[in-house]
Amino acid sequence: MDTGIQLGRRFRSLKLWMILRHFGAARLRSILAEHIRLAHEFAACVDSHPDFERLAPVPFGVVCFRANPRALRLGPAELDLFNERLLDAVPVPRSGM
């Protein structure tokens, strides 16, 4: 009763309900499984590259990694700054809306 529309609170389950209604549970499971598979594949690429390092396990679809170029031999603060500058240099796609 606390999260219903009639009380003016957010109907938090609406997004999930709409996704389940549109895709169905089986299709949603297969989509999530594919995203997790792709994350593991990307994590393996990061692990095999000498200038990148993975920073956390990959239990779901997110891969946390950073650049760590061996040739530069950066200290922790310099490495953080290097990755900040690298992230700032990556162009952000803009929506047409």
pLDDT tens digits, residue range 7-29? 555 667 888 889 999 999 999 99
Provide the Cα torsion 86, 88, 93, 96; round to 10°: -170
Q: Answer yes or no: CATH 3.90.1150 is held by domain 9-89.
A: yes
Q: What is the pLDDT of residue 15?
A: 83
pLDDT digits (tens, 9 = 90+) for 27-77: 999 999 999 999 999 999 999 999 999 999 999 999 999 999 999 999 999
Q: What is the pLDDT of residue 54?
A: 98
**CA–CA distance, 59 with 56 (Å, rounded to integer):** 9
Q: What is the pLDDT of residue 13?
A: 80
Domains of the chain, residue spans: 9-89
Contacts (Cβ under 8 Å, ≥6 apart) of 28: 19, 20
